[in-house]
């Protein structure tokens, strides 16, 4: 999926970030660090603005990220997608028809192998690789799974964004608002 040409998926950590995202041309984004009491209202706001937001369910304050929470969130909040490090959460969201992203932390070759095995087992729609500044890992996981890749974590410059994209990432997840602005301007200018 190309996300309508978006190279950046803005990762929103607070309501100030969300307000900034609302004033961009981005259609897709990621909610991080929400309180359970905010879920319905922020999703209603996002849906009214035609923003398609992934929800990092592991980071919801006040909600344990398990299959029951996933079922509740999918039925009641209806996010565009779920992001989690947990295979059982991904499988439940898949069952509920919600786009899924398995977040993986690649710290060594053992973590790489375990991540590829988990990806093949739970079959997420997307994979988020952290840290996203390791093009070799992006390429290897993409080749091993055939899944679209999001690169996230430690990406701080346009050059790092472009290297990750060149390695096979479909998009970059970042809370770096200067990168949001850089790539939002690129979309406006048709670059």
Q: What is the CATH number of the domain that holds 85?
A: 3.20.20.70
3-state secondary structure of 182: helix
CA distance linking residue 148 with residue 67, whole number of Å = 24
Over the stretch 171-181, which tens digit does the pLDDT of each residue have? Answer: 999 999 999 99
Q: What is the pLDDT of residues 116-125, one digit of tens each?
A: 999 999 999 9
Q: What single DSSP character describes residue 147? A: -
Q: For residue 15, is it within any domain?
A: yes
**88 inside domain:** yes
Query: Can you give the residue range of the structural domain that contains 137?
Result: 7-188
Q: Are the beta carbons of 127 and 143 closer than 8 angstroms?
A: no
Domain-located, residue 75: yes
Q: Each residue of 56-84: pLDDT tens digit? A: 999 999 999 999 999 999 999 999 999 99
Q: Are 158 and 164 in contact (CB under 8 A)?
A: no
Round to whole Å and give the CA distance between 141 and 119: 9
Q: How many domains does the chain have?
A: 1
This prediction's pTM: 0.95
> Is 84 domain-assigned?
yes
């Amino acid at each position: 999926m190309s996300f309508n040409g978006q190279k950046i998926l803005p990762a929103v950590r607070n309501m100030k970030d969300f307000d900034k995202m609302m004033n961009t041309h981005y259609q897709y984004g990621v909610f991080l660090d929400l309180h359970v009491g905010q879920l319905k209202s922020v999703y209603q706001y996002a849906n009214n603005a035609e923003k398609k937001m992934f929800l990092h369910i592991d980071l919801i304050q006040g909600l344990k990220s398990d299959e029951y929470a996933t079922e509740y969130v999918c039925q009641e909040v209806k996010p565009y997608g779920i992001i989690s490090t947990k295979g059982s959460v991904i499988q439940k969201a898949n069952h509920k028809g919600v786009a899924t992203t398995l977040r993986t932390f690649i710290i060594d070759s053992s973590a790489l192998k375990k991540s590829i095995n988990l990806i093949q087992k739970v079959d997420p729609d997307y994979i988020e690789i952290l840290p996203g500044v390791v093009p070799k890992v992006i390429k290897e996981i993409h080749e091993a799974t055939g899944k679209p890749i999001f690169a996230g974590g430690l990406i701080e410059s346009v050059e790092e964004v472009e290297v990750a994209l060149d390695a096979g990432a479909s998009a970059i997840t970042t809370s770096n608002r200067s990168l949001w602005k850089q790539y939002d301007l690129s979309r406006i200018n048709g670059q």
